[in-house]
């Protein structure tokens, strides 16, 4: 079995997504964030709401290549299973450590999170891929999306109202409130945007990415691959919008319509960069994205630890008042230079530049931290 060729566009897409994650997670002041860099209040989808589903989608695409490569190298599934278990454990562990870091309180530790969801989606998508054929994979993906929709719409629970997609009246919130009480992002209302039930359709998002990776691995002509990405992307967009008439597009509930809608955008975006990078060989602008993509989890985890350190590190001003290191950095340097709005954005861009420098060193030393 020959090794699958590596696509630079996938690395660039992953790196672009991680850079966006860092950008939207690290404003200097949450009161001064430009609207495209904010999540939708509830229903709807902003550019920021594309970031996490993009990452899950591209993870699935990369799995089509990495699984084939590992099976070609090892000749056995045993090593692959061990790698899946190791990676799942490390992702969940790192996510929990990020939540615990500098708070050191297990009693109110947030159990769900971004890395935890990535780990769970990776594990369950891997099991579907390794234990079913193409038909079974398609069936499982459909069952996850349709099953979640029907469960949210039809299963009764205490306190349910006519609006089963409302913040305070949805099945996902009810289940998380029971199973994860005291360990959620929004403790006051018992809700978490990375909760348990809403992880189900997120697994399907990984599978849609996997199908895309399989198509790109195939023997079709590059132009045909590109055309198909655009066709599939626009079909997914239309289906997502049509489904939103019955199940709103909602990132925090990770609705099935949201999965199709964001996957449709991801397919179109991938079609553009696949054509530009892998077909037309326009690679000059890709280097920063490839560098971020080569150590994506390190970039996300490290920037998160850095942000939390700057926020929790308290310093005393000359007048005796206390602020954080982050606050002092913004008010003494960035706000005077760029104003409140510009300074807040500059803080996020500063994070990207710092981590571009760190990751460039890793890249030049050929140090790639693969979980």
Compute CA distances 266 → 207, 237, 263, 338, whole Å: 13, 10, 5, 33
pLDDT of residue 96 exceeding 60: yes
Q: Give the model's confidence band at 134: pLDDT under 50 very low, under 70 low, under 90 confident, else very high.
A: very high
Distance, in Å, from the CA atom of 183 to the CA atom of 122, rounded to the nearest integer, reads 22
Ranking 106-110, 264-268, 297-301 by mean pLDDT, the lowest is 106-110
Length of the chain: 371
Tokens of residue 55, six digits: 């990452």
CB contact at 8 A, 290 and 282: no
pLDDT of residue 73 exceeding 90: no
Distance, in Å, from the CA atom of 234 to the CA atom of 224, rounded to the nearest integer, reads 15
pLDDT of residue 319 exceeding 90: no
The pLDDT, as a whole number, for residue 168 is 87
Nearest to 56 by CA among 259, 240, 302: 259
The pLDDT, as a whole number, for residue 5 is 60
Compute CA distances 347 → 16, 108, 343, whole Å: 18, 29, 6
Nearest to 24 by CA among 57, 54, 62, 60: 54
Compute CA distances 197 → 133, 145, 156, 174, whole Å: 25, 12, 15, 10
CB contact at 8 A, 225 and 143: no
Our CA dihedral for 65, 6, 361, 364, rounded to 10 degrees, sits at 140
With residue 17 as reference, give the H or E element that holds it.
helix 8-25
pLDDT of residue 358 exceeding 70: yes
pLDDT of residue 3 exceeding 80: no
Compute CA distances 28 → 33, 224, 286, 300, 329, whole Å: 9, 44, 27, 17, 9
pLDDT of residue 231 exceeding 50: yes
DSSP 302-353: HHHHHHHHHHH-EEE-TTS-EEEHHHHHIIIIIHHHHHHHHHHHHHHHHHHH
pLDDT of residue 75 exceeding 70: no
Please state the φ and ψ torsions of residue 38, each to the nearest 5 degrees: -110, 155
The pLDDT, as a whole number, for residue 1 is 42
Nearest to 147 by CA among 200, 78, 193, 226: 200
* Mean pLDDT score, 44-59: 97
The pLDDT, as a whole number, for residue 204 is 98
Nearest to 216 by CA among 55, 1, 7: 7
Q: Contacts for 310-319 with beta carbons within 8 Å, 24 or more apart?
A: 312/102
* Mean pLDDT score, 278-291: 91
Instruction: Please report where in the chains the tokens 């349709």 appear, as a residue.
Output: 146
Q: Give the model's confidence band at 2: pLDDT under 50 very low, under 70 low, under 90 confident, else very high.
A: very low
Ranking 195-199, 220-224, 314-318 by mean pLDDT, the lowest is 314-318
Ranking 141-150, 185-194, 200-209, 337-346 by mean pLDDT, the lowest is 185-194
Q: Please, what is the average pLDDT of the chain?
A: 94
Percent of the chain with pLDDT over 90: 85
With b for 16 or more beta-carbon neighbours within 10 A and e for fewer, the 101-120 pattern comes to eeeeeeeeebbbbbbbbbbb
The pLDDT, as a whole number, for residue 371 is 72
Q: Give the model's confidence band at 70: pLDDT under 50 very low, under 70 low, under 90 confident, else very high.
A: confident
Q: Give the model's confidence band at 200: pLDDT under 50 very low, under 70 low, under 90 confident, else very high.
A: very high
């Amino acid at each position: 079995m020959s090794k699958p060729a590596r696509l630079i566009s996938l690395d660039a897409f992953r790196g672009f997504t991680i850079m966006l994650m860092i950008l939207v997670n690290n404003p200097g002041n949450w009161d001064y964030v430009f609207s495209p860099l904010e999540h939708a209040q509830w229903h709807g989808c902003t550019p920021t709401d594309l970031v996490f589903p993009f990452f899950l989608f591209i993870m699935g695409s990369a799995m089509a290549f990495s699984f084939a490569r590992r099976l070609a190298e090892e000749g056995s599934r045993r090593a692959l299973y061990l790698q899946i278990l190791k990676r799942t454990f490390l992702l969940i562990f790192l996510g929990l450590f990020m939540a615990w870091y500098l708070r050191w309180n297990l009693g109110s530790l947030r159990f769900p999170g971004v890395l935890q969801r990535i780990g769970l989606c990776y594990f369950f998508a891997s099991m579907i891929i390794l234990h079913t054929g193409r038909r079974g994979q398609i069936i499982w993906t459909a069952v996850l999306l349709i099953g979640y929709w029907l469960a949210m719409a039809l299963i009764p629970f205490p306190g349910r109202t006519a609006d089963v997609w409302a913040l305070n009246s949805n099945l996902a919130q009810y289940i998380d409130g029971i199973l994860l009480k005291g360990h959620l992002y929004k403790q006051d209302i018992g809700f978490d945007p990375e909760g348990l039930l809403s992880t189900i359709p997120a697994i399907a998002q990984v599978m849609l990415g996997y199908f895309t990776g399989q198509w790109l691995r195939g023997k079709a002509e590059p132009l045909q691959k590109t055309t198909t990405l655009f066709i599939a992307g626009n079909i997914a967009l239309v289906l997502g919008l049509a489904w939103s008439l019955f199940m709103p597009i909602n990132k925090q509930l990770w609705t099935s319509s949201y999965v199709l809608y964001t996957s449709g955008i991801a397919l179109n975006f991938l079609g553009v960069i696949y054509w530009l990078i892998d077909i037309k060989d326009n690679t000059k602008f890709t280097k920063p994205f490839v560098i971020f993509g080569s150590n994506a989890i390190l970039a996300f985890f490290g920037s998160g630890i850095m942000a939390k350190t700057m926020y929790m590190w308290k310093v005393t001003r000359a007048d005796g008042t206390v602020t954080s290191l982050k606050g002092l950095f913004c008010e003494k340097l960035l706000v005077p230079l760029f104003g409140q709005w510009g300074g807040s954005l500059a803080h996020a861009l500063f994070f990207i530049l710092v981590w571009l420098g760190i990751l460039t060193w890793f890249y030049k030393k050929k140090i790639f931290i693969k979980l």
